[in-house]
Amino acid sequence: MRFGIILITVAMVATQPLLAAQQEDVITLQQATAFALENNRTLKNAELDVEKARDQVAATRTRRLPSINTYTLSSRQLSHVDLKFEKGALGVLDGVGPVPAQDTTIESPSRFSALVVNEVSQPISQLHRIGLGIKQAELGVDLAEQQLRSEQNSVVANVKNAYYAILQTQSTLRVAEQNIRLYRELDRLTEQYVLQRVSLKSESLDVKTRLAKSELEALSLEDQLISQKEQLNDLLGRDIQTKFQVSVTPDAEFVSIDLAQAHITALAQRPEVRQARLKMDQADLDRRSKKSEFIPEVSLSFSNTAPINYSDVLPKSVTTVGVAVNWELFDWGRKKHELAAKETTVQQAGNAVKDAENMVIREVSANYRKLQRSAQMLRVAELAQETATESLRIATNSYRVNASLLKDVMQTESAMAQATDQYQQALLAFWTAKSEFDKSLGENND
């Protein structure tokens, strides 16, 4: 009768649920991903890159408008700029004689003076090249947006992996704490049996050794859990010391996924593929821009030059309007070779697109197979858990009729705890594989 009371006591201690040391906020996986998408610092930098790219487009568009420049030179003459007119330099007039009538020198005063040149230039032939530059800048915005999507997918996947890692560690920690409670109760009972000369001293030492190993394992798991929570807090963009608890993982949903359709979806959605294609478009625009350099640069020009305090005989202002042409007639084949290099870059960009597509297909296929394996492992773990549950029921019933020992019941209880932990680990592994598969498809996380 006393032995049965001991068994009931051990079973009650072993099955006692964990009590939280303090009340902490519970954050679900959906809340964690939404919080990360809003506050993650890496994503904020990626969003700023998009804004920078848009500003670059606006800056490039201004090159279509007239450029207005002013140049001012203020100085004091160190040497005289004298104007010398020899006798009759301006001709001979009837009835007047030579002009000037004698050699004449107009001296420039040594004083501070200024030269102001204002110029307005409107590009004409350059508009084609500027338009290509605007298109390149707009592709830069698309590239920045695709990089943002890639960062979003990575952050969401990292948050899910960190979240599942916390759940896995907590599951293992629960089993370790359950083993500690079992070994402590068994240690207490064994010490009593040693005093009663029912058990050997070696059995008591064996129980103490197992208890010490379980306590060390639990301590390591607690440290690991703290580090994992700090990592998740960092991904969420908040204070890494923030206390929280994670919610229970939902049950797995076994859905049929067609691999061929997954390949098509990934090729259409993956940011890496889109980036490779945009870079090829950029390379082609760069080639066209380089080719446009063979066209002479023609601009409408308006200029006003105003010398200030130079000389009383100089005009106060000189205004001109006309067409400015700048054309390098002979470049020794430089532009031709530069254009050939741009064409080679276009070919390299095309190869990069193919490499990106193949990489995506391989990654999707690998994650698809991993997801299938994890689903099968989850089924095996579920069956093992059902088997352990039935074994514990049989062992408990056998002990009630004195057909088995207490040690056998405790071992079966430990096996039940291990099977439960393995099922939880398999479930979390399935969701981790599902997260990686979703990431390889390039699905939006807005």
Average pLDDT, the chain: 84
Summarize pLDDT for 257-308 with one digit per residue, the tens: 788 999 999 999 999 999 999 999 999 999 999 999 899 999 999 999 988 8
- Match 């201004």 to its residue by tokens: 62
12 occurs within a structural domain: yes
Q: Based on the structure, what is the number of domains in the chain? A: 1
pLDDT in tens, 98-114: 877 788 777 766 778 88
Integer Cα distance of 378 and 426 in angstroms = 5
Which pTM value belongs to this model?
Answer: 0.76
CA dist., res. 363 & res. 82, Å (int): 82
* pLDDT surpasses 80 at 41: yes
Q: What gap in Å lies between CA 239 and CA 249, rounded to an integer?
A: 24
The answer to whether position 93 is within a domain reads: no
> Rounded CA gap, 433 and 412, in Å?
31
* pLDDT value of position 302: 93
| Position 70 in a domain | yes
Please state the rounded mean pLDDT for residues 156-166.
Answer: 91
In a domain, 90, yes or no: no
In CATH, what number is assigned to the domain containing residue 45? 1.20.1600.10
Q: Is residue 106 part of a domain?
A: no
Q: Are 58 and 108 in contact (CB under 8 A)?
A: no
The mean pLDDT of 200-226, rounded to a whole number, is: 87
CA distance linking residue 120 with residue 104, whole number of Å? 39
CA distance 307 to 209: 100
- In three-state secondary structure terms, 318 is strand
Output the pLDDT for position 171: 83
Between CA 82 and CA 88, with CA 83 as vertex, the angle to 5 degrees is 145
In a domain, 91, yes or no: no
Domain that holds residue 30: 2-76+111-441
pLDDT in tens, 308-323: 877 666 778 889 999 9
pLDDT tens figures, 401-410: 656 666 676 7
Residue 95 lies in a domain: no
Q: What is the pLDDT of residues 339-385, one digit of tens each?
A: 999 999 999 999 999 999 999 999 999 999 999 898 889 889 889 88
